[in-house]
Amino acid sequence: MSFGKNQIIAIAAVAVIIVAAASIFFIGGGEEPSTYDEGDIVITTNVQDKGEITQVFKEAPERIVAGNNTVLEMLLYFGLGDKIVAAYYDEDEIWDQEPVKSEYKKLIDRLDPKYHSSGLLSQAVITEVQPDLIMGYKSSFGEGKWAVGSTEYWNKMGCNVWSLNTQAGKATVEGMAQDYADFGLVFDIKDKTDSFMSKYNAALDKASNSGIVTGILEYRGAENGFSAYGDKAFIGQELLACGGVNKFASGGTVGLDVFVDSTDMEALVLIAFGSNGSPDEVAELIKSNPNYQYIPAVKNGKILAIGLSETYGGVRALTTIEGMVALLD
């Protein structure tokens, strides 16, 4: 059978349309096959501009932007540092335990300073590194001054967004367990994340449920007093899980006069951040102040001093829960 010129042109046009349609179909993620053994991984997360949403992973992310120390340290701890292409809000001292410490050094040695900031990176700068996943605070995703762009923008770019439960509305021990379950599935390291949570739960099982009245206070300086972490904060939930009673269950500001009068506070979780000193330095300031010797926690040395990054449910949560259980024993 022979075809005329017009027929040949028509057939070619149809073929082009079919190929183009197929390309669009796969680029858009339609029936593109998953590389996971059990099919696509779907997680639920909570972002500023959309609320609770789902994100679909067809394969383990390869180009990740870490939007705070908690997720940065999780990635380094579980051997995923080579997948980090940018990091912002890296504003706390990195955890000094291995393998995080040495993996962090490798990261900063190879990462262009343009893509590594203690503050916010712009949407334009992050777009340059072509990420397939951004992990950050809930407030990272939207159009506000603390954000790196909208969820819609990043999803259209083929990039998933993810805010951990402990940083986005489900700040509970159960929420953290879900974070690690999701993390293990998405990065195909379930054996490692299961092992981590087993250690965490084993430490929590040792809690004595003593009902000790405990303050969870972030030191704000000699003139500003403290900021209290209430029951709704993740570390407040950890305290309750350990059987403690939160002295300042509603959170808020605690002046030095209120702190001095806390004669029922038997234990203290003391949080250090920024220019006020390291955890050990802040603890020494409190212990050495003669005005605080009437507080049972200070008098008896029942103080657990930690950094801000230890309050968010990352890998430091393991040593924090171990320390808290020992504090309340």
The tokens describing 197, both together, are 């949570």
Three-class secondary structure of residue 54 per DSSP? strand
d(C-alpha 22, C-alpha 17), whole Å: 9
Tell me which CATH code domain 41-202 carries. Answer: 3.40.50.1980
**pLDDT over threshold 60, residue 304:** yes
Answer yes or no: are the C-beta atoms of 132 and 35 closer than 8 Å.
no
- Torsion 171-177-178-184 (CA) sign: positive
pLDDT of amino acid 35: 85
Tell me if 41-202 shares its fold with 208-327.
yes
pLDDT of amino acid 309: 87
Mean of pLDDT values over 219-242? 93
Confidence of residue 25 (pLDDT cuts 50, 70, 90): very low
Mean of pLDDT values over 31-51? 89
Top CATH class, 208-327: alpha beta
**pLDDT over threshold 60, residue 10:** no
**pLDDT over threshold 50, residue 20:** no
How many beta carbons lie within 10 A of that of residue 176, not counting itself? Answer: 24
pLDDT of 54-79, one tens digit each? 999 999 999 999 999 999 999 999 99
pLDDT of amino acid 257: 93
pLDDT of 167-196, one tens digit each? 887 899 999 999 999 999 999 999 999 999
Could you state, in order of their start, the residue ranges of all structural domains in the chain? 1-32, 41-202, 208-327
Residue, of 115 and 224, whose pLDDT is higher? 115
d(C-alpha 203, C-alpha 267), whole Å: 19
- The number of CA neighbours under 13 Å toward the Cβ of 204 is 17
